[in-house]
Amino acid sequence: MRLRIVKVEWITEHLKRINMSDREIMDAKNGIERKSYGFRDPVVKHVVNKFVARSNVGYEKYGSTLDDERRFKMKDLYGYLTDIQEELMDAILYIQTAREELEGNYTYPEFVKKHYEKKD
């Protein structure tokens, strides 16, 4: 047991020295491999990069992954459906706001005047 602790400590220090993030260190300890991909389509690459960045934000915020939530029963199906519903409701609001912005093509002062100043 002591040998395992010393080995883990050595690996952790080695990984920090080669400038790995805490997430990468945790992944390495848990045997999660990282792969590099080539992309034909830069749009796909940008989307994948956004997924990875979003996953990192969630991991930093909550300290677990969606896979952890599922495997450790941290959230049930109803919880996932609620999350989906809330995200889609937010998406509808963003779509409507963008449409109104396109229809009005307001500059910021015009937007404030139209939506926030009192009408006589």
DSSP 31: T
What is the domain partition of the chain in residue ranges?
1-34, 39-74, 75-120
- The pLDDT score that the predictor gives to residue 15 is 62
- Per-residue pLDDT, 9: 75
Write down the H helix ranges in the chain: 2-17, 22-29, 42-62, 66-71, 77-104, 108-116
Residue 104 pLDDT: 82
Angle at 26 between CA 22 and CA 57, to 5 degrees: 55
Mean pLDDT by 10 residues, the chain (120 residues): 72 69 75 83 95 92 91 94 97 93 75 72
Quick one: pLDDT at residue 95? Answer: 94
Two tokens, residue 18: 């080669």
